[in-house]
Structure 1
């Protein structure tokens, strides 16, 4: 049933950030599933309360399977722990603590003090993976950064003439939009913004709690006021990071609705960029390129997850841009290596996803 609580929690993807994903399943003493719930922000009701309301009187003596520690503090809603206690729940099975300092073990402690048995650690890795962005945010105090690239078999992202549409197939591109739906912000560099003139929207067709924030690192303010990103900035939040002090150009961009943020070293100051995004409660960032931006994040060791969509095509040519620019590793021993690697097939393409391990 813990797995069922994780499945229920997944229903809230894109609809809860900066809150965590939470699912709850109530099983009566006779083994009957009597209530299920998934937290979605707009409903103003937490997963535990939804499940308890479904279960009604059958909650007495039942076991609640919850994907994340129930909270014991007052926020937008009353504490979930109180709801569980008042409903007569006898046992709570939950894989992990909530790292939020307002919770962080207090929910479990309150339940135990009230005579409820609490079991933890079941499917812990899966639960941590499901809320990896939220957990990282509270532990690292910066947004979770996911690098996504579409590449050829020989590691290129375009031909030597700049032709890049499309390296991967339709199924891979559909999965890319599903990824965008999972993230608070999407980030590119000025070169990609200028050459590709992208819209950078979430076209998954699914509901979002907040609009996807578009971020451009543009030290010299090359981005045209007539670009898709700027022209649609009033409808879709767009933040441009720069160290350029040309007030006239900044005014043009702001007049179109874009937010221009001046920071020391502009887009080269990646940690500063992430700090600024964090101040806006953006817990996760999907980096979509180009090569120099990807390389800069790798050189700074600020990548938390990687997804490569690999097409069965060889581009060739020494002048064709590689997937990763920057300085790179001096020796193989210091190269970024991936662990917990998963490979998924999308028609003829492969998606390789993993988590970096950094070696000195």
Structure 2
């Protein structure tokens, strides 16, 4: 679903980043009486998507403000989690607010957003999904309802949960939302027998992979992959400040030296407790984790049911049985996808094909 061009704002305003999305259509000048809650929510979802991986421990909330049927402002949580989206809006009585996550009800470094909205007296507030934080869950809605505001939750909830998956997974499951990225040939190989792999996929697929990096708080790779490939793991899309943290999962291999921006996870020389490692990352505020690994770590994560999304980039190359497999052995595997996993999307990226799998829980 795309936002109709007649209601798209000139830009999404993110604190410290004026004009993030430029050259969009003019805001429709006439009153629009047929705007549905879903249409009103859509620019807020776009803003939240734009800030995925940029807001630290706080959720990447998007908010859209409508006045007399016209979209007047679109904002998102600022880098590092401040300021909150709702606090950036000049809400007037009678306005309609669409926000991807229930406004917070607790006060900390900043006032509670639910109280700010209640004091501003918009006529309606549309909410994408409830905040799982027990300090807010349901309380934010009650504060606004008690102020006489019409509040409706669950608007575009599935999409809202997708764009804020890092925060929601960390709060609900105490681990990051894990995206696993695999690049392979048509026969399922990731490299020649000697480890050479540049390039398995083409330019368009690699650019899409950089977009995943831009949306990640951190990237995790296995020690063998790090030693063999010496990957830079940066986002090469020309987006300032989009390089995620890098973690290397310790293994049997000895890592002689590490760049300053790379950290080691786990204990050396033994089997890793992946669930514990992910909990550790969540405690450090990592919500969106991209895993770019070899076949062994990829299989271990799938086997442990710790993968939320799998991005499989497949080229037309054929390397044969002597080449390295993109995915290690899965124990007790049947002729089925891993538990709960479905194919969500297939698309062409230049000469390559992307298949995106998601786990529905």
Aligned partner (choices 45, 63, 73) of residue 106 of structure 2: 73
Q: 1:241 corresponds to which residue?
A: 266
Task: Choose the corresponding residue for 1:21, options 44, 49, 60.
Answer: 60
1:260 corresponding residue in structure 2 = none
Per-residue CA shift, 1:182-231, capped at 9, x if unaligned?
A: 1122111121111112222233332448x622222223351122xxxx1x
2:254 counterpart (222, 225, 234): 222
Q: Give 3-state SS (helix, strand or coil) of 2:59's partner.
A: coil
Shift of 1:36: 2.5
- Give the aligned partner of residue 31 of structure 1: 69
Preserved contact between residue 177 and residue 287 of structure 2 (Cα < 8 Å): yes
- In the alignment, is residue 8 of structure 1 matched against residue 47 of structure 2? yes
Shift of 1:171: 1.5
Q: Give the alignment partner of residue 213 of structure 1, picking from 237, 245, 261.
A: 245
Instruction: Give runs of aligned pairs for residues 1-360 of structure 1, distance below 5 A.
Output: 1-28=40-67, 30-41=68-79, 44-52=82-90, 59-208=92-241, 212-225=244-257, 230=258, 232-233=259-260, 236-244=261-269, 265=270, 268-316=272-320, 318-333=321-336, 335-336=338-339, 338-339=341-342, 341-356=344-359
3-state DSSP of counterpart to 1:157: strand
Q: Are the equivalent residues in 2 in contact too, given 1:15–1:207 (CA < 8 A)? A: no
Q: Distance in 2 between matches of 1:21 and 1:142?
A: 17
* RMSD over aligned Cα atoms: 2.2
Asked if 2 retains the 8 angstrom alpha-carbon contact of 1:152 and 1:314, the reply is yes
Secondary structure, counterpart of 1:95 in structure 2: strand
> Shift of the alpha carbon at 1:270?
1.2
String of CA shifts for 1:139-161, please: whole Å, max 9, x gaps.
11112221101111111101223
Tell me by how many angstroms 1:17 deviates: 2.7
Structure 2 unpaired stretches of 5+: 1-39
- Closer/same/farther in 2, CA of residues 315 and 357 from structure 1, 3 Å limit: farther
Residues 137 and 35 (structure 1 numbering): CA distance in 2 closer, same or farther, change over 3 Å?
same
Closer, same or farther in 2 for the Cα pair 1:179/1:335, shift >3 Å?
closer
Give the whole-Å Cα distance in 2 for the aligned partners of 1:222 and 1:189.
12
Worse-matched range after superposition: 63-72 or 75-84? 75-84
Number of aligned pairs? Answer: 322
SS at match of 1:60: coil
Given that 2:167 and 2:287 are in contact with CA atoms closer than 8 Å, whether structure 1 keeps it comes out as yes
Note closer, same or farther for the CA distance 1:205–1:12 as it changes in structure 2 (3 Å cut): same
8 Å contact 1:213–1:239 — kept in the other structure?
A: no
CA distance in 2, matches of 1:143, 1:179: 15
Query: Whose helix fraction is larger, Structure 1's or Structure 2's?
Result: 1
| TM-score normalised by the chain length of structure 2 | 0.83
Unaligned 5+ segments in structure 1 are: 245-264
Distance 1:76 1:156 in 2: 50
Answer whether contact 2:56 2:80 (CA < 8 A) is retained.
no
Normalised by the length of structure 1, the TM-score is: 0.83
User: 1:12 and 1:322, CA in 2 relative to 1: closer, same or farther beyond 3 A?
Assistant: same
C-alpha contact 1:136 1:143 (8 A) present in aligned 2? yes
Check conservation: 1:44, 1:76, Cα contact below 8 A. Answer: no
Q: What do residues 270-298 of structure 1 show as CA deviations (whole Å, max 9, x unaligned)?
A: 12221222222212321111011111112
CA separation in 2, counterparts of 1:26 and 1:333? 45
- CA displacement, residues 286-325 of structure 1 (integer Å, 9 cap, x when unaligned): 1111011111112222111100011121221x22111111
